[in-house]
Structure 1
Amino acid sequence: MIDRLEKEVDMLERHLQVLKMVIGNEPIGIVKMSNETGYPHHKVRYSLRVLEEENLIEPSSQGAITTEDTADFVDELDEKIDSIVDKLDSMKIEETAEIQS
């Protein structure tokens, strides 16, 4: 159960790292992103596709570029992540809790 969540978080981390690269280096292509992040081309390509589906980037002849929705997403990102962290913290089982058999 928790393994699936960890895999999703890892994938989200990759998507956000790819988005950061586009924001900081637009336009940027798959090869450069792959070389700089260490992610294989197919994983970068998948992240780009996800980001494009979310309308956060779009392709251009020189590489990926941001869209008009990117800034709003970035502005709200920290708040959303903080909210998720709070939810996860509330799900922790305290060490002192006794497990009933």
Structure 2
Amino acid sequence: MIDRLEKEVDMLERHLQVLRMVIENEPIGIVKMSNETGYPHHKVRYSLRVLEEENLIEPSSQGAITTDRTVEFVDELDDKLDEIIDKIGGMRIDNAPEVEN
């Protein structure tokens, strides 16, 4: 159960790193992103596909570029991450009431 969550967080981290690269270097292609991040091409391509499905980037003849939605997403990102962190912190067993045996 926790392993799956950790894999999802790792994947989200990769997606956000790819998005950050597009924001900072647009237009940028898969090969350059792969070389700079160390992620294999297929993982960069998957992250780009996810970001495109979320309308955060779009393809161009020179590489991936941001969309109008990107700024809104970035502006909301820190608040969303804080909410998730708070929720996960509340799941800690040491925060739960004592269990009597």
Normalization by structure 2: what TM-score? 0.94
* 1:9-88 mapped onto 2 (5 Å cutoff): 9-88=9-88
- Identify unmatched segments of 5+ residues in structure 1: none
Deviating above 6 A after TM superposition, structure 1's stretches of 4 or more consecutive aligned residues are none
Look up the equivalent residue of 1:54 and give its one-letter code. E
1:79, 1:35 → 2: CA distance? Answer: 31
2:21, 2:95 → 1: CA distance? Answer: 40
Q: 1:12 deviation in Å?
A: 0.2
Q: 1:100 deviation in Å?
A: 5.1
1:25, 1:10 → 2: CA distance? Answer: 22
1:44, 1:65 → 2: CA distance? Answer: 14
Normalization by structure 1: what TM-score? 0.94
Q: 1:24 deviation in Å?
A: 0.1
Secondary structure in 2 aligned to 1:69? Answer: helix
1:95, 1:22 → 2: CA distance? Answer: 40
1:96, 1:73 → 2: CA distance? Answer: 34
1:91 alignment counterpart: 91
- Identify unmatched segments of 5+ residues in structure 2: none
